[in-house]
Copies of this chain bind each other. A is one copy, B any other.
Amino acid sequence: MANVNIKPLADRVLVEPAAAETTTASGIIIPDTAKEKPQKGTVVAVGPGTKDEPITVQVGDTVLYGKYAGTELKFDGTDYLMMRESDILAII
């Protein structure tokens, strides 16, 4: 996990997507036929949250998120996704 100097605003979270292996070390397999195929990644930066949307994930958490969540960012050769915490389904 790279150390990035980005401060997301409000309830936004910066996620470094995991490599596109379909079977992970922890044994989770994401089926191709899923309606909205979830993706896995690692949280690298979190915003301060808002009054209505407090932030509950932490830097370092491995998370699942929807396939079309977030906006792409590239930093020192690594791709990131900036998304709202509500786009994150679960911590695994």
Cα A14 to Cα B64 in complex, Å, equals 13
Contact of A28 among B26, B33, B75, B88 (CB under 8 A): B75
Cα A72 to Cα B8 in complex, Å, equals 24
Report yes or no: B82 in contact with A28, Cβ–Cβ below 8 A: no
**Tally of A interface residues using CB under 8 Å:** 43
Residues of B within 8 A of A73 (CB): 28, 30, 34, 38, 64
Report yes or no: B38 in contact with A48, Cβ–Cβ below 8 A: no
Cα A77 to Cα B82 in complex, Å, equals 31
Cα A85 to Cα B8 in complex, Å, equals 12
Report yes or no: A8 in contact with B74, Cβ–Cβ below 8 A: no
Task: Identify which of residues 50-65 in chain A touch chain B, using a CB-to-CB cut-off of 8 Å.
Answer: 56-57, 64
